[in-house]
Amino acid sequence: MPGLKNVFKQIGKAIAFLFVSLYRLFLFLLDNTIGLIFSKKFNGYNKALDKDKVWYKVRFVLQILVLLLLIFSFNEIYYYTIGQVIGSFITWIGTLFKETSIYGKILIEYGHKFSEGIGTTLYLSLIGTTIGFIFAIFLSLIVTLKRYPEDGVIKKTFKSIGKWFVKTYVTVIRGTPMMVQAMIIYWGGKTFVDWDHLVAALVVVSLNTTAYLTEVLRGGIESIDKGQQEGGLSLGLSNFQTMMTIVFPQAIKNSMASIGNEFVINIKDTSVLSVILVVDLFRVAQLAQAKYLNPFPPFIIVAVIYLILTSTITAILKRLSKVLEVPEVKLPSAN
Answer yes or no: is 279 within a domain.
yes
What pLDDT is attached to residue 26? 82
Answer yes or no: is 15 within a domain.
no
Q: Which domain holds residue 306?
A: 73-323
- Alpha carbon distance, N-terminus to C-terminus of the chain: 24
In sequence order, which residues have a C-beta less than 8 Å from that of residue 170 and are 6 or more positions away? 139, 143, 211, 214, 215
What pLDDT is attached to residue 36? 80
CB 305 within 8 A of CB 113: no
The C-alpha atoms of residue 286 and residue 281 are separated, in whole angstroms, by: 9
Answer yes or no: is 97 within a domain.
yes
What pLDDT is attached to residue 180? 92
Least confident span in 55-59, 108-112, 258-262, 320-324:
320-324
pLDDT tens for residues 54-93? 777 788 888 888 888 888 888 888 888 889 999 999 999 9
Closest Cα partner for 305 from 95, 122, 72, 146? 122
According to DSSP, residue 45 is labeled T
Least confident span in 161-175, 245-259, 313-327:
313-327
Answer yes or no: is 4 within a domain.
no
The C-alpha atoms of residue 238 and residue 158 are separated, in whole angstroms, by: 19
Answer yes or no: is 54 within a domain.
no
The C-alpha atoms of residue 100 and residue 236 are separated, in whole angstroms, by: 76
Average pLDDT value for residue range 35-39: 78
Closest Cα partner for 125 from 78, 89, 90, 166? 78
Q: For residue 20, is pLDDT > 80?
A: no
Which is more confident, 50 or 18? 18
Answer yes or no: is 10 within a domain.
no
What pLDDT is attached to residue 334? 43
Q: Please give the tally of structural domains in the chain.
A: 1
The C-alpha atoms of residue 153 and residue 139 are separated, in whole angstroms, by: 22
pLDDT tens for residues 264-306? 999 998 989 988 888 889 999 999 999 988 889 999 999 999 9
CATH number of the domain enclosing 300: 1.10.3720.10
Answer yes or no: is 55 within a domain.
no
Cα 170 to Cα 81, 102, 279, 295: the distances in Å are 38, 45, 28, 36
Query: With pLDDT > 70 as the criterion, what percentage of the chain qualifies?
Result: 90
Answer yes or no: is 144 within a domain.
yes
What pLDDT is attached to residue 17? 77
